[in-house]
Amino acid sequence: MIDVSRRKFLTAGAAFTTTVSTIGLGASQARAAGGGHGFMAASSAGPDGFDGPGPHRKKTPGLQGICALCEVTGGGEKVYGIAAEYDVAIDPASLTIDTYATAVFPVAKGFFAGMPQEPDKNDTSAVARPRLVSAIYTNSEAALRPDGKSVEGRFVITEFHHDPDLSLPTTDSDRVSLIQKHAVRALTGVTYAASQTVWNNSGRHGNNVAIRGVDAWEQNHWWWDDTRSAWLEYSIYLPKSFLEKGGENRSYPLILAVTHSGTSPDGTCAQTLTEQCIASIWSLPEVQDEHKCVVITPRYERTTMNDYWEHTSDVENTYRLVESLLSNTWNYGNPNLPDRSDKVLKIDPKRVYCTGWSMGAMTSLWLMAKHPQTFAAGLIIAGQQRPSDVVTLANQKLLIITGSEDNKATPWNEKCLPIWKQAGAKITRPDHNLDPALIFPVDRQDALTRQINGYLAEGGNITFLTFEGVDHMGSARKFFHIAAARHWLLDQVRA
């Protein structure tokens, strides 16, 4: 197989169907199925799973192609279902839980989401593993439905069980397969017979994948300054209300979400969004419904800040990117999409926030310390700084969260506390650690929310919380799922 650079967002693959089950597919066939790092949004693909110019397979009645339905969690990108696309709307009454045989290819050996120099997760030598269907319904788009109920549409959704612990590391690539085992009836009355044909979501330009909360991002933007020959690549999420008519007349909060060194120097814009939820969690529909905001995340060419407190010019360039958005002149939305073309984005200067994990948290602390008049608040997950460099944080709003087994972030923040207190900070630091078991499942965080809100209500401008038994890597997988922390951040307003 030709070696594919991780910097290539969409990679060439080969679409195929075969009468041999991919559940028993070997290594060479699996790689031939295509794929690579990144993803291809389902909305960009034609009905045959291909996109762009060139020859297309002739459209015939019946099943047209399949799409992996994914979501990014603290443990990385996970496959939560498959969308089977037909040429016409399907009668949900003709579907049963065993209508299809579905399978997901596991990640390549040695892959661990967010780690540097990891292998291509789709370059696997393993066979596809059967995945049981927990719900089946029709939809008008290639997407899961929260209610699990059918609406009229030509997509049949096979949904898988979701593990409630979203911090578990993913074992999924974004390649899937499907066999239609039983007949399916269209609303027109036409019946599509069962078949042994194996469908795969690989295409010429990458795997056909829909990632909830991620596909709406615009990737591969550039901030630049020709006077310094400086540039910085970034991705941006634009709220749906901005894309509606008149949305450009509103001002929006801005979140700067800085990822970790595992996505640099060999990562891509896609990986900053899919290998951890540091940035992408803020664009989930349920989060945006409560707090409409713009989100930006840089993609760095190198580690921007190391454990010796040294940093590259990318740190200050990141602030310049924020500064450029605050100028209310940003009009670089996709020119081929009329809902954002030529719109000028307005940012509320009193509601600019910083967040990140590990290197991203260190960068966030540094930026807030050096530009104290810019940020309304910071959510700092497992980051640390040298106390003498961040004295000005004493007058800012911070929620710092670490794990008791993190031997860098926790002790270094402890060293900062007396420095901040001496400089006038009011600090809330509980004398006991919190229980990470209260984080999951995320829809049962009532006890945790009461605890955290109680600490935040003590009135400290700096609150420092530590969870028992969590190490550095575990903090990334768990803490961004704490709803009370996210709500607190977006509720802050700079005086």
The per-residue pLDDT for range 450-479, each reduced to its tens digit, is 999 999 999 999 999 999 999 999 999 999
pLDDT tens string 345-394: 999 999 999 999 999 999 999 999 999 999 999 999 999 999 999 999 99
Report, as an integer, the average pLDDT of 441-448.
98
Percent pLDDT > 70 in the chain is 87
Higher-confidence residue of 272 and 180: namely 180
Assess whether pLDDT exceeds 50 at residue 483.
yes
Per-residue confidence (pLDDT) for residue 266, from 0 to 100: 64
108-112, 215-219, 408-412: which has the minimum mean pLDDT?
Answer: 108-112
- Please state, in angstroms and rounded to a whole number, the distance separating the CA atoms of residues 14 and 17: 10
pLDDT tens string 303-327: 889 889 899 999 999 999 999 999 9
138-142, 156-160, 200-204, 216-220: which has the minimum mean pLDDT?
Answer: 200-204
Per-residue confidence (pLDDT) for residue 124, from 0 to 100: 83
How is residue 41 written in tokens? 């949004």
Assess whether pLDDT exceeds 60 at residue 33.
no
Assess whether pLDDT exceeds 60 at residue 91.
yes
Do the beta carbons of residue 33 and residue 103 sit within 8 Å? no
Per-residue 3-state assignment (H helix, E strand, C coil) for the chain = CCCCCCCCCCCCCCCCEECCCHHHCCHHHHHHCCCCCCCEEHHHCCCCCCCCCCCCCCCCCCEEEEEEEEEEECCEEEEEEEEEEECCCECHHHCCCCCEEEEEEECCCCCCCCCCCCCCCCCCCCCCEECCEEEEEEECCCCCCCCCCCCCCCEEEEEECCCCCCCCCCCEEEEEEEEECCCEEECCCCEECCCCCEEECEECCEEEEEEECCCCCEEEEEEEECCCCEEEEEEEECCHHHHCCCHHHCEEEEEEEECCHHHCCCCCHHHHHHCCCCCHHHHCHHHHHHCCCEEEEEECCCCCECCCCCECHHHHHHHHHHHHHHCCCECCCCCCCCCCCCCCEEEEEEEEEEEEECHHHHHHHHHHHHCCCCCCEEEEECCCCCHHHCHHHHHCCEEEEEECCCCCHHHHHHHHHHHHHHCCCCEECCCCCECHHHCCCHHHCHHHHHHHHHHHCCCCCEEEEEECCCCHHHHHHHHHHCHHHHHHHHHCCCC
For the chain, give the mean pLDDT.
88
Report, as an integer, the average pLDDT of 276-283.
95
Q: How confident is the model at residue 263 (pLDDT cuts 50, 70, 90)?
A: low
Per-residue confidence (pLDDT) for residue 118, from 0 to 100: 76
